[in-house]
Structure 1
Amino acid sequence: MQACGLDFGTSNTAAALPDGTVLPIAPDTAEPRLFRSVLFFPEDERTTYAGAPAITRYLEDNAGRFIQSVKSFLHSRSFRATQVHGRTWTIEELVAVLLRRVREAAGAQTGAPPEAVILGRPAVFSPEPEADALAEQRLRKAAELAGFTHIQFLIEPIAAALAYEAQLSREELVLVADFGAGTTDLTLMRLGPSRRGRPDRKADVVGSTGVRIGGDRFDAELMRHKLLPRFGAGTTYRVRGLSDKRLPVPQHVMAKLLSWHEMSFIREKSTQELLQLMLESSDKPETAEALYDLVMENLGYRLFRTIEATKVQLSREEEATLDFEEARISLHERITRAEFESFCQPLLTELEQCTQGLLERCAGAGEIDAVFLTGGSSQIPAVRKLYVDRFGEARVRTADAFTSVAEGLGRACVSLVSPDLINS
């Protein structure tokens, strides 16, 4: 039975074989091992695009429906389905399209689509047990719809730990921090050559936890503090029929602009009417025009791609300029790393508290030998500094930020032929 590990991520998805080889499931792209977790439904076609082709098609013609970060909705009881060009798509069906394309791409590399899969999942989809169970149930159903017949789950920081373990020559107690686009997951685990390859690793896990902080929230802080005023935050508009009555731009509209995975759902009729009213009577017309074009011309993905690129640049340099010119939007914002870190301080504090809570619950486990950081936000200097300050530079390790979890899920596939399976 052919098996693979599959890391279905908020932004990217990756797949790996039992030997840890991460497959090139997105050929002809800049990073062929990363399949973008996005969908595009054109207005004038019945074709559904997924991955890099979805982005290309959307950038060519943004009149259709672009859907991203669907993983972020798995735990939400309020999001059961959405309408796309007259058809109702459940969240399971949307995820299944992505998983099916990845399964087919993996099959193109190995000769046949895998039937068995170990799927990664966050340590905590939601702090509410019922919502957490709902998310896993939906992800399982999506995998079944995608054609997988044998499905197991492994929490993502444990998968990252197995990838790290492959290079160890001695036993270690390791704190693994996996920074995804939507969540950060932490696991304290005993690793080493004597444990490598065991089908059941539950006894090696000392403790695990997670928090809903990921790359998307770091992007949102840049949007909140530097860009929202350019889209109308703090401005007012006139109420129709009441010439002397002015209202501030509603907070719920600004809040949606902070979550790029919600921006494809902001174009409902009531919002369109509000945007039109703001165009007619805003006290700062240029911001109303920018907001209108951002929403109505579906420019959210382009903007957040620029925000993300700026964040990455700030991880390498002390300052950057965010440049974005589309429609009536003209942004040229200088941002320093110090500014960015101040914007993100509440997130860093929450990460520190989450880490401290896990260590307190695992008191008595012994001294931590290493801290393994993986995932995109592990490259943010302030995030790395948080762990270096606590554990020392010599104990903080990194590897491939975007494929460590997939590699570990692949290595865990030995459990699919064992009665002792590691489940979340």
Structure 2
Amino acid sequence: MIGFDYGTSNCAVGVMEGNHPTILPLGSHGRYIASNLYAPSRAVIVNWLHGRLPAAEQDTFKRQRTIALQQGQAALRELALDAIPAELAFGRDALASYLQAPDEGYYIKSPKSFLGASGLMPQQIELFEDIVAAMMSNVKTLTEAALGRTVTQTVIGRPVNFQGLRGEESNRQALAILTHAAKRVGFKDVEFQFEPVAAGFEYEAGLSRETRVLVVDIGGGTTDCSLLLMGPKRAAQQDRGPDLLSHSGERVGGNDLDIALALKGMMPAFGLNSLLKTGKAIPVHSYWQAVAINDINLQTEFYSAANGRFLQQLVRDAAQPELVNRLLTMQKNRLSYRVVNAAEQGKIALTEQSAQQVGLSDIDQELTIRLDRDDFARACQRELNRIATLIAEAIAQAGTKPEVVFVTGGTARSPVLNRFLQQQFEHTPIVVGDHFGSVTAGLTRWAEKIYS
């Protein structure tokens, strides 16, 4: 049995060793593997997956994906003619493959962000299920190699809400995709636990008395808040429903902060906020499309041929065409992930440094953008306000205030986030947990409790 944090930014797996959870090394990736995938062609993902499914699943999968497998075979023949390897890459290897040739192949980061999206067609849902299954298959293989045994039972973390727009309908869609994918790759028993609750379980292991704990989990894709009654007596109970006083959650997390920083901190160097020759402000919608890597529809619009023609005209109409031409270059070479990744790396660097130079010479040889913590705070003010609202909602629903705030999630490492949280809780102690490992450890504890 394992605890499996299939996260928006990273995936991690935990097992119990005695009374303590241990996060496993996943091959060369270490304890955390980035939640991304690269394929030389989108069509071959289904074929790669089919070849790695348990034997009992292969025939059923073949019947369900007959047309997709045939399309994949055609793509494989083309790749073979061009002497291009047909293997999929995961984690940092996937990012490296994408950055080597951004306009070739198929790269997706944080597919968990899309699972609750509205308006998905059946073939899109099948594609996301296959992408998730391929990533889970890779993690399961690495896990079993580390343990030297087969793993068939798992507890997977889930946010309170995958997508704020459709509530429970989005949650059902996302959980169905995750469940089908997990069972397809060989997990026989699959359960879910709220990520902030799981993080709270890990904190609870160190408590000596009953305490009202507000868990604030600021992850890559969502922020989730749970107010729980915790303590040594309650930890021994299997039914923790009565201890959960309130929940709130929304799709606002590290990815949204990266996008906001890319838009407001970097897009001005691409012409955002500049003028047309007529003196009017330049249209902003294409800039939002360019960086919205977690919105399928906006990215499709940005890379459409019609938008390419629009941007060419925009360059001609711009008072500073050299800036807008950078946006056109971004569109022609499919560099959205490249730019948002640069913003993400800048954000990470600002954890340790007050300012950072970000170079984008692959877009323009002279392009270097300076970012500092104040830029980050201004760019993310809307997202920070949404997080403040979620915190207030959780406390209001519970009808009582927390005695301690437990903060986890990789995004919470930022000094800007720390300062923001201190402002929200001036008179309440804040405890910072393992930014990346608290959820995995809590899922692992819960797996032992329900499967033992």
Do they superpose with TM above 0.5?
A: yes
Unaligned runs of 5+ in 1: 239-244, 419-424
Distance 1:138 1:249, change over 3 A: farther
1:160, 1:408 within 8 Å by CA — same for their partners in 2? yes
Q: Is 1:370 aligned to residue 404 of structure 2? A: yes
Q: CA deviation at 1:91?
A: 1.3
Aligned partners of 1:400, 1:69: CA distance in 2, in Å?
Answer: 21
Q: CA deviation at 1:413?
A: 0.4
Aligned match of 2:47: none
Q: Is 1:28 aligned to residue 28 of structure 2? A: yes
1:157, 1:186 within 8 Å by CA — same for their partners in 2? yes
Q: Is 1:151 aligned to residue 222 of structure 2? A: no
Aligned match of 2:261: 222
Aligned match of 1:255: 288
- 1:103-182 maps to which residues of 2 (within 5 A)? 103-127=140-164, 128-182=167-221
Q: Deviations over 1:271-297 (max 9, x none)?
A: 333344445664433223312322332
Q: Is 1:352 aligned to residue 388 of structure 2? A: yes
2:265, 2:379 within 8 Å by CA — same for their partners in 1? no
Supply the AA of the counterpart residue of 1:21: T
Q: CA deviation at 1:167?
A: 2.4
Distance 1:330 1:70, change over 3 A: farther
- 1:7-406 maps to which residues of 2 (within 5 A)? 7-18=5-16, 19-25=20-26, 27-29=27-29, 32-43=30-41, 44=79, 45-62=85-102, 63-80=104-121, 90-127=127-164, 128-234=167-273, 251-262=284-295, 265=300, 266-278=302-314, 282-328=318-364, 330-364=366-400, 368-392=402-426, 395-406=429-440
SS, match of residue 160 in structure 2: coil
Distance 1:149 1:237, change over 3 A: farther
Q: CA deviation at 1:141?
A: 1.5
Q: CA deviation at 1:74?
A: 0.6
Supply the AA of the counterpart residue of 1:59: L
Aligned partners of 2:327, 2:336: CA distance in 1, in Å?
Answer: 10
Supply the AA of the counterpart residue of 1:404: S
Q: CA deviation at 1:250?
A: 5.1
1:374, 1:400 within 8 Å by CA — same for their partners in 2? yes
Aligned partners of 1:308, 1:393: CA distance in 2, in Å?
Answer: 32
SS, match of residue 326 in structure 1: coil
SS, match of residue 21 in structure 2: coil
Higher-helix-fraction structure: 2
Q: Work out the percentage of aligned pairs sharing the same amino acid.
A: 29
Q: CA deviation at 1:114?
A: 1.5
Aligned partners of 2:395, 2:419: CA distance in 1, in Å?
Answer: 18
Q: CA deviation at 1:161?
A: 0.5
Q: Deviations over 1:58-87 (max 9, x none)?
A: 23333111111211111113234678xxxx
Aligned partners of 1:279, 1:147: CA distance in 2, in Å?
Answer: 52
2:154, 2:190 within 8 Å by CA — same for their partners in 1? yes
The CA RMSD measured in Å over matched residues stands at 2.7
SS, match of residue 182 in structure 1: coil
SS, match of residue 33 in structure 1: coil
Alignment TM-score, normalising by the size of structure 1: 0.85
SS, match of residue 409 in structure 1: helix
Supply the AA of the counterpart residue of 1:104: T
SS, match of residue 346 in structure 2: helix
Distance 1:345 1:234, change over 3 A: closer
Unaligned runs of 5+ in 2: 42-78, 80-84
Alignment TM-score, normalising by the size of structure 2: 0.81
Q: CA deviation at 1:329?
A: 5.7
Aligned partners of 2:375, 2:314: CA distance in 1, in Å?
Answer: 31
Aligned partners of 2:265, 2:87: CA distance in 1, in Å?
Answer: 38
Q: CA deviation at 1:393?
A: 7.3
Aligned partners of 1:252, 1:103: CA distance in 2, in Å?
Answer: 41
Greater shift, 340-349 or 269-278, is seen at 269-278
Aligned partners of 1:112, 1:275: CA distance in 2, in Å?
Answer: 54
Q: Deviations over 1:229-252 (max 9, x none)?
A: 3223356789xxxxxx99976544
Aligned partners of 1:250, 1:416: CA distance in 2, in Å?
Answer: 54
Aligned partners of 1:246, 1:391: CA distance in 2, in Å?
Answer: 46
1:174, 1:368 within 8 Å by CA — same for their partners in 2? yes
2:388, 2:424 within 8 Å by CA — same for their partners in 1? no
1:171, 1:193 within 8 Å by CA — same for their partners in 2? yes
